[in-house]
């Protein structure tokens, strides 16, 4: 410790450059500093330097996390390309629903919940039941020709699944429907960009 | 030149440099945040083609950040 000078040594040899020395925070000479500071002289400028360096290190860690997330998304694309299209399955009978009636079903097996709506004597539509905003289940508003998400007042067109109003940015994923021998079949899922 | 290790830069220079590097790293990470948000938005909208190019750009950003961090430690 430097008892005579007006600086506190920063933990390195006193022959080093003056820039490597630091003042106490109150600017008084070392001999006038309280005992605890004389016993444990903290090099405040070095402390600040190390704090910034550690902050850089932490932000680089965040950068690594973002890169890992991007790679994860890209790897999911590979699995997606190699996955097969879901098989067709019966989800209802034609007589089961009156015009304007709706039914939820799971398609494909173990997959997401979908919503089937009968829009006419021989016409059905089916979409993902999860709103594309924050995954709340949508409900049919048949009289208005719309699907409604009550959570944040999102509205979709019943015939196309397109967004009409509210916070959703993307249309509802559509399920392909076919009528075969009085049965309603789900035959695939249409991916749609916003 | 003394017998012990003497840094290439004096303290004030190193302080300026660490602040500059910090600014660069923050800007790059904000770019990565934007890239990740845009990628997830595109993917949820069914556009998966962006996934690999975006991942490569993000890896380049990470490499830049690691290079800056390495330089910071070499500077001492």
pLDDT digits (tens, 9 = 90+) for B44-69: 877 888 999 999 999 999 999 999 99
β partners of residue A185: A90, A178
Domain membership flag for residue B13: no
In a domain, B42, yes or no: yes
Judged by a CB distance cut-off of 8 A, whether residue B8 touches chain A is no
Say whether A19 and B65 touch across the interface (CB within 8 A).
Answer: no
* Spatial distance between the Cα atoms of A58 and A50, rounded to a whole number of angstroms: 12
Q: Does A154 or B7 have the greater pLDDT score?
A: A154
Helix H or strand E segment including A155:
strand A154-157
CA dist A137 and A135 (Å) reads: 6
Q: Is B72 within 8 Å of A15 when comparing Cβ atoms?
A: no
Instruction: Please identify among residues 5-64 of chain A the ones whose CB lies closer than 8 Å to any CB of chain B.
Output: 12-13, 15-17, 19-20, 45-46, 48-49, 52-53, 55-57, 59-60, 62-64
A20 neighbourhood in chain B, CB within 8 Å: 10-11
Per-residue confidence (pLDDT) for residue B2, from 0 to 100: 46
B12 touches chain A (CB under 8 A): yes
A84-88, B32-36, B43-47, range with greatest mean pLDDT? B32-36
* Domain count for chain B: 1
CA dihedral sign of residues A10, A15, A18, A20: negative
Residues paired with A162 in a beta bridge: none
Q: What is the pLDDT of residue A5?
A: 42
For chain A, residues classed under CATH 2.102.10.10 are 89-190
Q: Residue B15: inside a domain, yes or no?
A: no
pLDDT at A189: 87
Q: Euclidean distance between the first and final Cα of chain A, in Å? A: 68
pLDDT at A118: 95
- The pLDDT, as a whole number, for residue A7 is 46
CATH architecture of A89-190: 3-layer Sandwich (2.102)
Q: Is residue B16 part of a domain?
A: no
> What is the per-residue pLDDT for A111?
85
Tell me, yes or no, whether B57 lies in a domain.
Answer: yes
Within a domain: residue B3? no
Find the CB nearest A19 among B10, B26, B43: B10
Q: Which domain holds residue B29?
A: 24-74
């Amino acid at each position: 410790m430097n008892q005579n000078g007006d600086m506190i040594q920063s933990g390195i040899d006193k022959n080093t450059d003056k820039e490597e020395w630091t003042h106490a925070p109150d600017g008084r000479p070392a001999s006038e500093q309280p005992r605890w500071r004389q016993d444990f002289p903290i090099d405040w400028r070095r402390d600040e330097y190390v704090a910034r360096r550690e902050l850089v290190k932490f932000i680089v860690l965040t950068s690594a996390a973002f890169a890992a997330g991007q790679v994860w998304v890209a790897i999911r694309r590979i699995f997606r390309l190699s996955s097969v299209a879901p098989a067709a399955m019966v989800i209802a009978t034609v007589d089961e629903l009156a015009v304007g009636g709706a039914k939820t079903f799971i398609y494909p097996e173990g997959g997401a919940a979908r919503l089937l709506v009968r829009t006419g004597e021989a016409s059905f539509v089916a979409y993902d039941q999860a709103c594309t905003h924050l995954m709340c289940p949508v409900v049919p508003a048949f009289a208005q020709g719309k699907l409604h998400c009550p959570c944040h007042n999102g509205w979709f067109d019943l015939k196309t699944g397109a967004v009409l109003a509210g916070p959703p940015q993307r249309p509802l994923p559509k399920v392909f429907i076919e009528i075969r021998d009085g049965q309603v079949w789900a035959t695939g899922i249409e991916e749609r960009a916003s | 030149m003394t017998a012990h290790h003497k840094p290439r830069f004096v303290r004030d220079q190193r302080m300026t440099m660490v602040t500059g590097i910090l600014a660069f790293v923050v800007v790059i990470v904000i770019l990565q945040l934007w890239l990740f948000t845009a990628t997830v938005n595109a993917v949820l909208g069914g556009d998966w083609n962006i996934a690999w190019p975006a991942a490569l750009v993000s890896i380049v950003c990470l490499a830049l950040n690691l290079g800056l961090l390495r330089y910071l430690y070499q500077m001492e």
